[in-house]
């Protein structure tokens, strides 16, 4: 497996939730951003993202904020942030406990299980939407309505992939998914679709 640098990337960003953090109903989580040394001072201190709230209204989220904003937190007049430092500590402990070999094993399992899931889904009509390389998330397209797929799996207590629209679903497999679980899910879909 090559590093982002070896692949020619100047900046690499990622989600830190898989680094020993529970799902926690959507957060708090942490992300990471790495860059070449000569670009370190050019990274933004704050990034505001746009999304939709639960009613479909336009909403903004503070995706990145500089640590300096919390240095004098005892003098702050409000405390509206969650404790990302605790998340970072938990991720650090996880990475230290796993070690380099353990992290590599987790990454290999994620990639292998995602490819197994993708091939299994392809065997019942879910075709890969994009041909670019992927790690453990991929999008499929099929003749089956995405909401129907989600409903069928929900009836069996299985969290489906994320429906992106009528025909596209974003799937994910991690080291926590077993071959037996993947086979059972695909068998259910094959039978009911």
Q: Give whichever of 1-5, 66-70, 94-98 has the largest mean pLDDT.
A: 94-98
In the predicted model, what is the mean pLDDT of residues 38-51? 85
Element containing residue 15 per DSSP (H, E): strand 11-15
pLDDT, residue 3, reads: 85
pLDDT at res. 62: 77
For the chain, give every domain's residue range: 11-98, 100-192
Q: Per 3-state DSSP, what percentage of the chain is helix, strand, and coil (rounded to 5)?
A: 40, 20, 40
CATH 3.30.70.870 at 100-192, yes or no: no
How much is the pTM? 0.76
In angstroms, the first-to-last Cα distance of the chain is 37
User: Pairing relation of β-strands 46-52 and 58-65?
Assistant: antiparallel
Distances (CA, A) of 166 to 51, 105, 120, 134, 143: 20, 35, 21, 22, 9
pLDDT tens-digit readout, 142-161: 999 999 999 999 999 999 99
* pLDDT tens digits, 88-113: 899 999 999 999 999 999 999 999 99
Question: Confidence band (pLDDT; 50, 70, 90) for 72?
Answer: low
């Amino acid at each position: 497996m090559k590093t982002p640098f070896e692949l020619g990337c100047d900046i690499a960003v990622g989600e830190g939730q898989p680094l020993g953090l529970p799902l926690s109903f959507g957060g708090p989580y942490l992300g990471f951003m790495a860059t070449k040394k000569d670009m370190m001072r050019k990274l933004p201190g704050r990034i505001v993202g746009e999304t939709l709230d639960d009613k479909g209204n336009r909403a903004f989220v503070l995706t990145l904020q500089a640590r300096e904003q919390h240095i004098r937190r005892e003098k702050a007049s409000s405390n509206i942030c969650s404790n990302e430092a605790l998340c970072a500590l938990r991720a650090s402990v996880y990475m230290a406990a796993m070690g380099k070999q353990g992290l590599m094993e987790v990454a290999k399992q994620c990639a292998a299980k995602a490819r197994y899931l993708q091939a299994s889904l392809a065997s019942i009509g879910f075709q890969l939407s994009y041909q670019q390389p992927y790690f453990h998330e991929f999008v499929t397209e099929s003749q089956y309505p995405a909401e129907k797929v989600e409903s069928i799996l929900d009836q069996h207590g299985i969290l489906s992939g994320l429906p992106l629209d009528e025909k596209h679903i974003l799937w994910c497999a991690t080291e926590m998914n077993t071959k037996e679980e993947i086979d059972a899910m695909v068998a259910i879909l094959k039978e009911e679709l």
